[in-house]
Amino acid sequence: MENSKNVEEWNDFNSKHYQKGSEFINYSFLSQLFEQVIAKGNVRDIWFPGCGTSIVPKVFAELGFNTWATDVSDFAVAIQHEFTEKSVEQILEYGRRISVQNEQGELESQTLVNYLLMYHCADDYSFEKQGTFEVVNHDFRTSFYHAKFDCIVNIKAFQVFLSNAQRQIARVHYDALKSGGLAVFQTQNIVGKADLELKASLLNAGFHIQGFKTSSWFWNTLSEMLPLDLLHSYGVFEDYFWSDSDRQKYSKTLESLRQEFKQRSERESEETAHLLNDGETKVAKVFAWSG
């Protein structure tokens, strides 16, 4: 009994406290996100559940998309409301302030500026065709529209929940998406079993995830083969931090496992390719990030 109370308190954590520092933007993910959304085509309406204080939803609005930025935290919602009033230049200035330098010493937010300029010049996405920007205080464990969005982008807000809540959240995302829509998730610091469980909650809601069967086969086989410490470091860094003797010990089996992974991946991709653009199937893509 005491346990289940704690579980509820954990799941409710964010409505009472804001996780400071979450506004850090992973710019390489951002470029993947742009590619995914643009490649999807015909995307107009995008929902950013658990948006925090990120400038990403507002940037998408500036690019011409209709965006909904929602969060359960009053603090995050207040910051998003402030963005409503800000010009592109002010938003980018904010992005620059919270940005870090990459190895070449350039501000990583320059990537964002480049995207804005690129789409500013492109025919389909321009500031003249500015999209709408809606900010709503919303708990994504409860429903938010039905079959409304072409795309949903959940950045680092899904992976912390326990399995029941995760399944419920997956259903809310599935339900809010139009048929044939795309849901993109960036997760933070979860690998292996936890990553597969999160994906299983999405499959359970009805989403298709390309390559799921092969990646779960790979991880399960790996778990039987490697001791726990090697398994966990492999999940994030492959064999980069292994000792030479460990690398030697497992290199042959790992190599044949990788070969089989490749073959299985190709087969699975071919078998399921038709689901990606049938206009019906709702597809989820999960990008893992550690940091």
Ligand X SMILES: C[S@@+](CC[C@H](N)C(=O)[O-])C[C@H]1O[C@@H](n2cnc3c(N)ncnc32)[C@H](O)[C@@H]1O
Q: Which residue is nearest to ligand X (CB)?
A: 52
**Chain residues 121-150 in contact with ligand X, contact rule CB under 6 A:** 139-141
The one among 61, 63, 76, 91 contacting ligand X by CB under 6 A: 76
d(CA 67, CA 57): 6
Residue 167 found at the interface with ligand X (CB under 6 A): no
Looking up tokens 């398994």 gives 231
Residue 23 found at the interface with ligand X (CB under 6 A): yes
The one among 43, 61, 63, 73 contacting ligand X by CB under 6 A: 73
C-alpha distances in angstroms, 261 versus 5, 21, 108, 275? 42, 37, 34, 21
Nearest approach, Cβ of residue 62 and ligand X (Å)? 17
Binding string to ligand X for residues 26 to 55, with x set by CB under 6 A, is what?
A: -----------------------xxxx-x-
Closest CA to 95 of 184, 34, 27: 27
The Cβ of residue 111 has, within 10 Å, a number of other Cβ atoms equal to 19
Residue 19 found at the interface with ligand X (CB under 6 A): yes
Residue 285 found at the interface with ligand X (CB under 6 A): no
* 290: DSSP letter: -
**Residue type for 142, please?**
T
| Terminal-to-terminal C-alpha distance of the chain | 34
Binding site for ligand X (CB under 6 A): 14, 19, 22-23, 49-52, 54, 71-73, 76, 139-141, 155-157
